[in-house]
Structures are given as C-alpha cells and as structure tokens.
C-alpha cells in the first residue's frame, strides 16, 4: 500500500492497494473520523512500483519512515508498517513472478520434440505400416513419418505396439507424438484424438476363403464364422451391422493382428474377416486362398492421430508437411512403391511358387546366402532372380543359349570369369557380380530401391536399352532417375516412332517391365515367408544344410 498524499487537501485520504487483503485490513484499522480512504486497485506493474516503495520505506525506516508514510496518523504508523512488511514482500514477489510468466511463453509440443531431437512414432508391425526390409526399417507409414521428422529437423524414433488399443493408451500417456498405423478417422476416434489431414482414402473390404460361395452383402455372411481385430474400426462396423443383422456370427480378437486373421482365413480356420483395401492389396499375394468379397460402407480417410489437448503446434506442422508432400509427389511415390499392385500371378502360379520354395530352394539356399554376403546383397533378391530366370533349375537352357540357375549368356559368363555356367555356385556368383556391376554403372544420384530396379531391368534388357528408356522418359516429361516413371515408358522401346529416335533402337521393354515386377513379387513373398516363418517354408528352410 502507498498513500497518495496529494489527496490530503480534500480531507479524504486516497489509498492505492496491491491486494484486496491489504485493502480490507486498512479499511478495518483506519481511524473512524477523518481518515476513511477511497480504494483504488492498481495494475500489476504499478503494484510492483508501489510495493517496492513500501518495502524500502519499512526496511529503511530510520531514513525514509516519516517521509514515505507521513500521511498516516502516528498511532497507525508503527502497527501498519510492521504488518504490511510481509504482505508487501509477497506482493512484490508475486508481481515479479507474474511479469516473468508474461515474458516467457509456454514451450510448445514442437519445441519439446526439437529439444528432444526425435519424433516418436507409435505404430504396429505390418506391410502397410512398418517393418524391417533388406535396407533396414521401412513401410509406408514409416517412410512418411520419417520425412515428417526431417521436416521438423529431428530424427525418427519408432515404438511398436501389439494392439490398436495399446497405441491409444501410449498416446494418451504421452509416450509418443503421433499414431501412424493406417488409422481410419472415425467419429468415435475423433472424440479421443485430434487427427491431421487425410493422406489417403480407403474402403473396408470383406474377404473370404476361396471355395466359399462369394458373398455380395452382409446377409450372405449368415452361417459363416468371422473374426476381426479388437479395438479397430472393423469391430465398430460389425457391431453396427449386427444391430440389423443379428444372425452374423463373429468374434473380436485381442490376440491377433490383421495379417494373423488373413492367415486364419487362408488356412480355413475362419471363413471371413474385414480388412482395409490397402492392407489387402499389399498382402493378398501371401494368401493365395483369400479373395475379396465386397466393400463395406463408403470410403474413409486415413490420417495420423495426435493427443487431444490445447497445443496444436504439431498438428499445424503436420498440415503444412502434408500439403508439401502432396504437391511434391511424396505421397504418390509412397503409394507407388508400397501399394501399386504387382502383376498378379493367378492362384495356381502362386501355389506353384510356394511349393517350389519347399521342394527346390533348400539345396541352393546356402549358396544364395554365401554369395549374397560376398556382394553385400540380400539372398532373397538373388533367389527371386534365379526363380524368375530358371525356376531354380541349374540345368535350364533357353533357345537363345543362356543357361544355368541365373541364365547367363556366354559373354556375361566370360566377363565374370566363369568356367561353367551350369555350376550352381558359379552361376549365382556370376549373376550377383553382374547385377552389382550394372548397379554401379548407374548415376550416384539414383537412390534405393530405384537403383536396384534399374539394375534388374538392365540385367534383362541390357544397359544400353535401359539408358534409351531413361532418355525417352525425360523427353516425355518424366523423371529419368525415378523407376516408376521409366517403367511406364519401357514398352515404348518396341514401338517404331519411339525406338527409331534412340541410340540402341528396338528393345522388348515390356518384357523387362514384367521381369522386374515378377522378381519384386517373388522377393516380397520370400521376405514374408522367411521373416514370419510361414508354415509352408519353415520346416524345410530351417532344416536346410
């Protein structure tokens, strides 16, 4: 409290108070006659000024006492000074703290992430989200989140949960920054989380085992046994459907993921399940006995989920990043890489491949592994190449004279220093060495996995014709360093208006296009069977010498 002595002339003393407590005290203890004071409350900055004056007046009473508080009657001075000292100190400290708080804004979530140096991504393991491939951590959600982390200027850190409900609990507990797990934005989830912008749309599909009469609507599922992953939008959809179709027979599974249920359908342990069309697109090749039946409901947006709180800094950054990712072709490139359907083998062809994995691959498995280690390659890539070339037949011979497991020409064998193309180990070494040779000839700016795709195309087509395809791609407005662009133009090498303008002329580019697609499909299947220990493979692969 500081008294305004300028008001003394009016006979009414005006007092300024920094707190209501001081005001009440002064009103209750002022003399009854001639000393009732009007009350004015001060701003925080004025409170600091007046509070300091009071503190100094009391602390240095011998020098300042009468001058600073001379307007107070003598009986009031001593009692007021003593009682006001602690209150004044509290007022001053509080005012400084308030002013400091005004000057130091709260740290945002983005600032916390940058201070930490890592964006923590919550996800589940699977082909549509996150997995470990030949080049390390990968997957569509991982690749997109990694680029978002780069946008923020930090690293990416991954936490994998076993169930969707676990992801929700981790985010609510602050154990991660976002859920990136092929998550559909549903009304019930929007009550729990904030969602970023949609990066794709998807349909929920009902898939059934081959051999069952294809259902076309929910009512056709009556009499069949189904299952869905607990805590997912699939469960919500079937719960809603069961209200109108009570005869539906299905269960929720806490102990299984989406791919586990696809395997259960494939093996006949259940008749149907629900799956995101994108998930089925990348997994259908692994389950030859599963087929799509019908879409359930309209398309739904896929988006990242964030904690629902007052800090929207991370969501705003995600919106900015997604706008750039869409405009720059990042989203399209990820879709192309992970969700573009490969040339689909029919059911018979896929079953034949799986059977040959069991019967033909085991004797050559140690050789593929040995040579892959020598050249720093993935043995599954070499095995996929050999299957495409010879179906793992070391005595295979083509009408054009190429032969052996890797179907090498005589010129290539001589270039690689081979003496016998039909010797399995020499053939694998020659094929691996030639693939690395072609890959190393490519411009350094071409990154993986496109670099390997180009090398495979050159293995089949010849390096000169591959360069023609890249030149043609650039002429037609595409990116000659991007496999998705070049692949589309490969068939044009067989068309006279195009090949007549190129250095190496006519080439069967459509065959190279199919060659790379097939190897990609075989490779994907081998990776899946190897890492997940598929029952068709595990017994033989693990017993291989």
CA distances for 281 relative to 20, 270, 350, 447, angstroms: 70, 20, 15, 25
Q: Among residues 141, 235, 389, 487, which one is catalytic? A: 389
Give the residue from 267, 221, 261 showing the smallest Cα distance to 245. Answer: 221
Sole residue written with tokens 């009512």: 219
Q: What is the dihedral of CA 337, 340, 342, 348, to 10 degrees?
A: 130
Decide: 297 and 204 in contact? Cβ < 8 Å.
yes
Give the residue from 92, 96, 7, 12 showing the smallest Cα distance to 53. Answer: 92
Residue 68: phi and psi, rounded to 5, are -75, -30
Decide: 155 and 117 in contact? Cβ < 8 Å.
yes
Give the residue from 48, 43, 34, 40 showing the smallest Cα distance to 3. Answer: 40
- Which residues, in sequence order, are bridge partners of residue 193? 307
Decide: 134 and 381 in contact? Cβ < 8 Å.
yes
Interior/surface letters 11-27, b for 16+ CB within 10 angstroms, e for the rest: eebbbbbbbeebbebbe
Examine the residue annotation and report whether 370 is marked as an active-site residue of this protein.
Answer: no
> Terminus-to-terminus CA distance in the chain, angstroms?
92
Decide: 339 and 282 in contact? Cβ < 8 Å.
yes
Does an H or E element contain 319, and which? helix 313-327
User: Residue 212 corresponds to which tokens in the numbers above?
Assistant: 């069952």
Sole residue written with tokens 């051999």: 211
Decide: 512 and 482 in contact? Cβ < 8 Å.
no
Could you count the other beta carbons within 10 Å of the beta carbon of residue 493? 25
Residue 417: phi and psi, rounded to 5, are 75, 30
**Helices (DSSP H) in 60-202: which residue ranges?**
61-68, 74-103, 109-116, 140-152, 164-172, 187-190
HSE-up (13 A, CA, CB side) for residue 296? 27
Could you count the other beta carbons within 10 Å of the beta carbon of residue 277? 16
Decide: 249 and 212 in contact? Cβ < 8 Å.
no
Please tell me whether residue 14 adopts helix, strand or coil conformation.
strand
HSE-up (13 A, CA, CB side) for residue 171? 25
DSSP letter (8 states) at residue 44:
H
Decide: 158 and 149 in contact? Cβ < 8 Å.
no
Decide: 160 and 141 in contact? Cβ < 8 Å.
no
Q: Which residues are tagged catalytic?
A: 389
């Amino acid at each position: 409290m500081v008294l305004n002595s300028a008001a003394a002339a009016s006979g009414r003393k005006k007092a300024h108070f920094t707190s209501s407590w001081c005001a009440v005290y002064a009103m209750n203890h002022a003399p009854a006659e001639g000393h009732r004071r009007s009350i004015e409350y001060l701003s925080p900055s004025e409170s600091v000024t007046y509070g300091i004056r009071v503190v100094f007046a009391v602390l240095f009473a011998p020098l300042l006492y009468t001058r600073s508080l001379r307007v107070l009657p003598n009986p009031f001075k001593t009692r007021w000074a003593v009682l006001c000292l602690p209150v004044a100190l509290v007022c001053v400290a509080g005012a400084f703290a308030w002013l400091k708080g005004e000057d130091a804004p709260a740290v945002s979530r983005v600032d916390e992430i940058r201070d930490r140096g890592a964006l923590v991504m919550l996800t589940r393991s699977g082909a549509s989200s996150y997995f470990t491939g030949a080049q390390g951590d990968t997957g569509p959600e991982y690749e997109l989140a990694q680029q978002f982390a780069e946008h923020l200027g930090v690293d990416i850190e991954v936490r994998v949960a076993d169930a969707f409900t676990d992801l929700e609990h981790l985010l609510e507990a602050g154990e991660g920054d976002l859920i990136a797990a092929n998550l559909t934005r549903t009304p019930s989830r929007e009550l729990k989380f904030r969602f970023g912008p949609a990066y794709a749309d998807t349909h929920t599909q009902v898939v059934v085992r081959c051999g069952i009469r294809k259902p076309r609507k929910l009512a056709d599922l009556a009499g069949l046994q189904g299952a869905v992953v607990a805590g997912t939008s699939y469960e919500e959809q079937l719960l809603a459907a069961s209200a109108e179709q009570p005869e539906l027979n299905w269960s929720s599974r806490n102990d299984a993921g989406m791919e586990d249920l696809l395997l259960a359908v494939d093996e006949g342990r259940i008749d149907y399940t629900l799956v995101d069309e994108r998930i089925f697109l990348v997994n259908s090749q692994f389950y030859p006995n599963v087929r799509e039946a019908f879409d359930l409901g309209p398309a739904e947006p896929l988006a990242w989920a964030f904690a629902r709180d007052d800090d929207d800094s991370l969501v705003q950054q995600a919106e900015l990043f997604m706008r750039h990712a869409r405009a720059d072709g990042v989203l399209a490139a990820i879709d192309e890489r992970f969700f573009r359907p490969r040339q689909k083998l029919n059911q018979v062809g896929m079953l034949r491949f799986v059977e040959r994995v069991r019967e033909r691959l085991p004797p050559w498995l140690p050789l593929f592994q040995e040579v892959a280690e020598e050249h720093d390659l993935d043995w599954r890539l070499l095995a996929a190449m050999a299957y495409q070339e010879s179906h793992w037949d070391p005595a295979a011979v083509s009408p054009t004279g190429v032969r052996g497991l890797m179907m090498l020409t005589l010129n290539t064998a001589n270039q690689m220093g081979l003496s016998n193309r039909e010797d399995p180990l020499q053939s694998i070494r020659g094929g691996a060495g030639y693939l690395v040779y072609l890959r190393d000839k490519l411009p350094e700016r071409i990154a993986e996995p496109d670099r390997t795709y180009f090398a495979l195309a050159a293995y089949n087509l010849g390096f000169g014709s591959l360069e023609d395809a890249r030149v043609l791609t650039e002429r037609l407005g595409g990116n000659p360093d991007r496999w998705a662009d070049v692949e589309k133009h490969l068939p044009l090498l067989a068309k006279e208006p195009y090949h007549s303008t190129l250095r190496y002329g006519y080439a069967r580019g459509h065959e190279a296009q199919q060659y790379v697609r097939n190897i990609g499909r075989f490779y994907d299947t081998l990776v899946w069977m190897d890492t997940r220990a598929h029952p068709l493979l595990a017994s033989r692969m693990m017993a291989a010498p």
